[in-house]
Amino acid sequence: MMTIHGSHDLVLIVLSVLIATAASFTALDLASRIQASIGWPRYAWLATAALAMGGGIWAMHFVAMLAFSLPDTELGYDLGLTLLSLAVPIGATGISFAVVSSVRRRMLWDREGAG
């Protein structure tokens, strides 16, 4: 088994946690506006919530990766793969917010129809 010794930059780790916290709070606030909207504003709130949450997830992980350093090791980032790694969490959270908001909307309609 190969053991790799590296170090972490505490400031970047704390920044990563702050990014995750701020992004989650912002995204959930934006997502709460989806339910109250209809038409194109609904999709706009959905897109901004997905961008905030997915972008925040990506930024938190990217900063955390920058916080870890290996001595005598050069690392590089492929632009295409890096952009893909940004698109995936934005798309996944967008789908998640869309599913949750449609389920909530159906539950509200069922409740109003039953009453």
Q: What sign for the dihedral angle of Cα 106, 107, 110, 113? A: negative
What is residue 55's predicted lDDT score, i.e. its pLDDT? 97
Q: Residues near 26 by Cβ (< 8 Å), separated by ≥ 6?
A: 52, 56
Global pTM reads 0.80
Q: What is the pLDDT of residue 103?
A: 82
46-79: per-residue pLDDT in tens?
Answer: 999 999 999 999 999 999 988 888 777 787 889 9
Q: Domain ranges for the chain, please list them.
A: 8-69+78-114
